[in-house]
Amino acid sequence: MNVHTLIEHHDIQKWVTNQHGQPALARFADTTGRMHAKLAINFAHHRARPTATPSQDDGMAPCSWTAWLAELDRQNLALRIRDDDGYEFVDRRQLN
């Protein structure tokens, strides 16, 4: 399985768009009350049938590419992608 890490904004946006995804964010407070954001990519709206009925709201909301990419930079993350269309966020500081 091939794995690639995308760092450049245009490469990340192109991959997500080609996979029919949309950027999404969830904001949440930690135990001290500080707000944080969790990044995600929403692919669900392009499936013919949902694979599962959600039991609760995960708090993810679609957002603009500008907001999503700014948060990606703020958290110093890159996008690692696999041939099987899987992905994960990785810390840019840990890349060789």
CA–CA distance, 72 with 66 (Å, rounded to integer): 10
42-81 pLDDT per residue, tens: 986 554 444 444 444 567 899 999 999 999 999 999 999 9
Confidence category of residue 83, pLDDT binned at 50, 70, 90: confident
Strand partners, 17: none
Evaluate whether 1 touches 83 at the Cβ level (below 8 Å): yes
Q: Give strand ranges (E) for 7-93.
A: 22-29, 35-42, 61-62, 77-82, 87-91
Asked whether the beta carbons of 45 and 60 are under 8 A apart, the reply is no
Give pLDDT, residue 31: 92
Q: Which residues, 6+ apart, have CB-to-CB distance to 34 below 8 Å?
A: none
What's the CA gap between 21 and 34, in Å, rounded? 29
